Structure 1
Amino acid sequence: MIEFQHVHKSYNNGFIALKDINLKIEQGEYVAVIGLSGAGKSTLIRCINRMHDITDGSLQVNGVEVSTLKGQEIRTLRRGIGMIFQSFNLVSRMSALKNVLVSFVPDMPFWRKALGIFTKQQKIEALEALDQMKILDKSFTRVDQLSGGQQQRVALARTLAQKPQIILADEPVASLDPVTAQQVMSDFQRINEELNMTIIMNIHHVELALEYATRVIGIRNGEIVYDGPASAVTENVLNHIYNGKLKEELTMV
């Protein structure tokens, strides 16, 4: 479980990104975080894996207070939390398989890291992750030769290989065409349902959020202004979240 209690986040320039966030997310939920640009969506999910430190309040993941962790404790936390980015964060000159194998590097002995030697079991698990994402046939293809959707699937396979309990996704379909975005969102939905994996996604595409997520959190000016089932989101709710600027926001995507 993920629990925010009176969480605040401000930056050194004085900008307040999150204001008194109180939130519980249970294991197996598929949550979409929506709102205007700069509303605090990315900050919210990046606090969960300590990419950003909170300024005040309590943030716990499975009963562990995230803000007090140090060194190896932070690395252990992040092993259980996969992170998917808009830009895929793949090594373009390497094959899909080698990109997935990178997920094992943090736990490897130094000499294996230095020589790039992976065990047979690690290779099997990496191939299984690619197969799970239905991209096994691209295992030995350089990722810069893959489409955007295929690259995002490789990124998902890399995350699955580390066997996380939680996946955080920061605008994972923002750079994809509409058809491919639908396919990738379906992949997230399948992972959520088949593996009972918690997925928390910051997303601009409101229609995709409502179609695929089961729960929607709306943020405006750093505050949660809506938290409920995706099926209950109405035009009035969207106007409240976006302060009447939804159409303007969508033209910026």
Structure 2
Amino acid sequence: MIEFIDVEKKYPNGMVALQHINLSIDDGEFVAVIGLSGAGKSTLIRCINRMHDISSGKLIVDEIEVAKLKGKEIRNFRRKIGMIFQSFNLVTRTSVIHNVLVSFVPELPFWRKVLGAYTKDQKRKALTALDQVGILDKAYERVDQLSGGQQQRVALARTLAQNPAIMLADEPVASLDPVTARQVMDDFKKINQRMKMTVIMNIHHVELALEYADRIIGIRKGEVVFDGSTKDVNQNVLDIIYGKGQQAKEGREALSYV
């Protein structure tokens, strides 16, 4: 369970990124967060794993009040929450499996960190994660030899290897072509359904949000203006989220596609 209780996020320059956020997200949901650029989508997601601190209110994840965590508590908490970024954050000159094994570095004693000596169990978990996203055969190839979609799958496998309870994704397919984007979205859906893992995704492509997510949260000017089932999204809802006229063009195209 993830619960936002009257959460506000205000930056030092006075800009309010989030205000009056009240949400409850249950275990195993696939949630897409949509809205215009600068609406607060990324901020909302990044508050969940404490990449951003909230300014007021309460944010509770699995009965833990996130704002009260300190030092090592924050690091341990983040181990339970996977994060996928638009930029893959991979070391491209090394192998695929090495990039996945990096997820275990925080668990290693100092001497293993220095030597890069991972355990057999960690290697097994890394290979299993690669198999789950369909690129086990690429385990010993260099990352810079892979396509963009394959690199995003490496990033996804790296996150899976740490066995998180929640998967956050910040524009994970924004830099991918349409065919590859759907392949990566298929991976997220399989993870959500087969592993019963909560997936919360900030996504610019409305048509993909409507196709893959079960629940849509619409953000406008830092506030939640829609929260409901994907099947309840219509043109009126998109007008509320994006505004009427030219700003809603993407929403109209999404509805005509679906």
Shared fold by TM > 0.5?
yes
Counterparts of residues 34-113 of structure 1 (less than 5 Å): 34-113=34-113
Match of 1:247 in 2: 249
1:10 equivalenced with 2:10 (yes/no): yes
Distance 2:252 2:100 in 1: 33
Tell me the equivalent position of 2:195. 195
- Cα drift, residue 177 of structure 1: 0.1
1:31 and 1:216 in contact (8 A); partners too: yes
Give, in angstroms, the shift of residue 248 of structure 1.
7.0
Aligned to 2:120: 120
Q: State how far apart, in whole Å, the 2-side matches of 1:53 and 1:68 are.
A: 10
Measured on the aligned residues, the alpha-carbon RMSD in Å equals 1.3
For the pair 1:136 / 2:126, whether they are aligned, the reply is no
Partner of 2:256: none
Secondary structure of the equivalent of 2:122? helix
Give CA deviations for 1:92-148 in whole Å, capped at 9, x if unaligned: 111110000000001111111111100111111100110111100000111111001
Indicate how the Cα distance of structure 1 residues 82 and 250 shifts in structure 2: closer, same or farther if over 3 A, else same: farther
Structure 2, unpaired ranges of 5+: 254-258
Q: Secondary structure of the residue that 1:130 maps to in structure 2?
A: helix
Please identify, of 82-91 and 239-248, the stretch whose mean Cα deviation from structure 2 is larger. 239-248
Match of 2:154 in 1: 154
Q: Distance in 2 between matches of 1:54 and 1:48?
A: 9
Which ranges in structure 1 are unaligned for 5 or more consecutive residues? none
Aligned residues of 1:29 and 1:192 also touching (Cα < 8 A):
yes
The question of whether the paired residues in 1 share the 8 Å contact of 2:238 and 2:251 is answered with no
Corresponding residue SS for 1:168 = strand
Per the alignment, in what secondary structure is the counterpart of residue 93 of structure 1? coil
Q: Distance in 2 between matches of 1:50 and 1:114?
A: 28
- Partner of 1:7: helix, strand, or coil? strand
Aligned partners of 2:181, 2:192: CA distance in 1, in Å? 17
Q: Which residue of 2 aligns with 1:235?
A: 235
Letter in 1 for 2:119: T
Given that residues 82 and 168 in structure 2 are in contact (C-alpha distance below 8 angstroms), is that contact kept between their aligned partners in structure 1? yes
Contact 1:37 1:249 in 2 (8 A): no
* AA aligned opposite 2:215: R
Local SS of the residue matching 1:57: strand
Contact 2:235 2:252 in 1 (8 A): no
Secondary structure, counterpart of 1:19 in structure 2 = strand
8 Å CA contact retained: 1:94, 1:142: yes
> Match for residue 26 of structure 1?
26
> Matched residues in 2 for 1:21 and 1:181: separation?
30
User: Once the two structures are aligned, what percentage of the paired residues are identical?
Assistant: 69
- CA–CA distance in structure 1, aligned partners of residues 24 and 105 of structure 2: 32
For residues 247 and 90 of structure 1, the distance between their equivalents in structure 2, rounded to whole angstroms, comes to 34
In the aligned structure 2, how far is the partner of 1:246 from the partner of 1:98? 43
Moved over 3 A (4+): 248-251
- Local SS of the residue matching 1:54: coil
Give the number of aligned pairs: 251
In structure 1, distance between residues paired with 2:252 and 2:172: 16
Distance 1:53 1:94, change over 3 A: same
